[in-house]
C-alpha cells in the first residue's frame, strides 16, 4: 500500500472515529438532558403533591377548628338557654287538671330530647374529646346514639390491645368513620351494619365497616360528572392519603358495601 493510500486510510479512520465521538457526545448530552428533565419533572410533581397536601391539610384543620368552635358554642350558649327554658317549664304552677298541663309536659319531653341530642352532637364535634377518650370509645358512642334510634341493627367489636395515635391521625380516622355512617344513613337503605376495630399483632390498625344495603357501582360513582357524586368517598380518600392509610371500598348494586381502612402503627406505640 502506497504512502498516499495509507494517509487516505488513516484520514478516513480518523473521520469515522471523530464522527463516532460526535455521535456519542450528542447521545450523552441528550441522555443527560432527558435525565435532568425527568428529575425536574419528578421534583415539580413532588412539590405539587406536597403543596396540594398542605392545602388539603390546612382545609381540614380549618374544618376541625370550625367543628370545635360550633361544639363550644352549642354547649356554652344554646345549651344554657335550653336549660333555662327547661327549668322555667319545670317550675310552672300547673296542676294535672289545668288545660295547659299536657302541652307543657309534651314540651318538656321534646326539650329533654333536644338537649340530649345536642349533647351527643357536641361530643361528636369536639376534637379534644375524641383525643381524650380514644378512637374505639368515640366510635362506640356514635354507634350507641344511632342504636337508640332503632333504625339499624348494629354490631361492634374491638380486637387486640388499643394503642394511641397521633392526635391528627385519630381525628381523621374518626371523621372517616362518621362519613361512612353518613353515607349509610343517606344512601344505603341498610338495616344492618357491622363495625370492626382491629389492632393487629403485625403493627396495623384496621377499621372495617360493612352494611347490607343496596350497594352501588363504584367505578360509575368515581367517574360521575355530578358535582356532588362521590364527594364523601373523595373526602375519605383524601384523609387516608394525608395520614398514610390505605382505604379499600367494595360494593356492588344489591350486595351492600364494605369499606376498610388500614393504617400502619409505629413500633413505639406497641
User: Has residue 126 got a pLDDT over 70?
Assistant: no
pTM above 0.85, yes or no: no
- Please check whether residue 231 is in contact with residue 210, taking contact to mean a CB–CB distance below 8 angstroms: no
> What residues contact residue 108 under an 8 Å CB cut-off, 6+ apart?
86, 89, 90
The secondary element (H helix, E strand) that includes residue 49 is helix 3-73
E strand residue ranges, the chain = 153-159, 192-199, 204-211, 246-251, 257-264
Question: How confident is the model at residue 227, as a pLDDT?
Answer: 46
Tens digit of each residue's pLDDT (9 = 90 or more) over 140-197: 988 988 888 788 899 999 999 888 777 778 888 988 898 898 888 888 889 999 999 9
* Angstrom distance (rounded) from CA 269 to CA 119: 32
Using the predicted structure, report yes or no on whether residue 209 has a pLDDT greater than 90: yes
Looking at residue 221, what is its pLDDT? Answer: 72
Per-residue pLDDT at 269: 41
Intra-chain end-to-end CA distance of the chain, in Å: 85
Q: What is the pLDDT of residues 47-59, one digit of tens each?
A: 556 555 555 556 6
Q: What is the DSSP letter of 149?
A: T
Res 142: pLDDT = 86
Share of the chain above pLDDT 90, in %: 18
Distance separating alpha carbons of residues 3 and 202, to the nearest angstrom: 81
Q: With 80 as the cut, is the pLDDT of residue 213 above it?
A: yes
Amino acid at each position: 500500500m502506497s504512502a498516499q493510500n495509507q494517509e487516505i486510510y488513516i484520514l478516513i479512520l480518523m473521520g469515522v472515529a471523530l464522527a463516532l465521538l460526535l455521535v456519542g457526545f450528542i447521545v450523552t448530552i441528550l441522555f443527560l438532558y432527558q435525565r435532568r428533565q425527568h428529575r425536574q419533572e419528578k421534583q415539580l410533581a413532588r412539590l405539587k403533591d406536597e403543596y396540594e397536601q398542605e392545602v388539603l391539610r390546612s382545609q381540614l384543620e380549618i374544618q376541625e377548628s370550625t367543628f370545635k368552635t360550633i361544639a363550644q358554642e352549642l354547649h356554652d350558649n344554646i345549651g344554657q338557654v335550653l336549660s333555662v327554658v327547661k327549668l322555667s317549664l319545670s317550675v310552672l304552677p300547673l296542676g294535672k287538671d289545668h288545660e295547659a298541663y299536657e302541652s307543657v309536659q309534651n314540651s318538656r319531653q321534646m326539650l329533654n330530647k333536644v338537649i340530649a341530642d345536642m349533647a351527643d352532637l357536641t361530643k361528636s364535634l369536639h376534637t379534644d374529646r375524641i383525643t381524650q377518650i380514644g378512637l374505639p370509645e368515640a366510635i362506640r358512642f356514635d354507634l350507641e346514639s344511632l342504636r337508640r334510634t332503632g333504625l339499624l341493627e348494629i354490631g361492634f367489636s374491638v380486637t387486640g390491645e388499643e394503642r394511641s395515635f397521633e392526635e391528627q391521625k385519630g381525628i381523621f380516622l374518626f371523621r372517616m368513620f362518621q362519613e361512612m355512617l353518613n353515607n349509610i344513613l343517606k344512601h344505603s337503605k341498610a338495616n344492618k351494619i357491622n363495625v370492626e376495630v382491629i389492632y393487629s399483632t403485625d403493627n396495623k390498625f384496621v377499621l372495617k365497616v360493612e352494611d347490607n344495603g343496596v350497594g352501588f357501582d363504584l367505578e360509575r360513582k368515581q367517574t360521575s360528572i355530578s358535582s356532588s357524586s362521590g364527594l364523601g368517598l373523595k373526602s375519605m380518600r383524601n384523609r387516608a392519603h394525608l395520614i398514610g392509610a390505605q382505604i379499600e371500598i367494595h360494593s356492588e348494586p344489591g350486595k351492600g358495601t364494605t369499606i376498610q381502612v388500614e393504617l400502619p402503627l409505629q413500633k413505639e406505640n406497641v
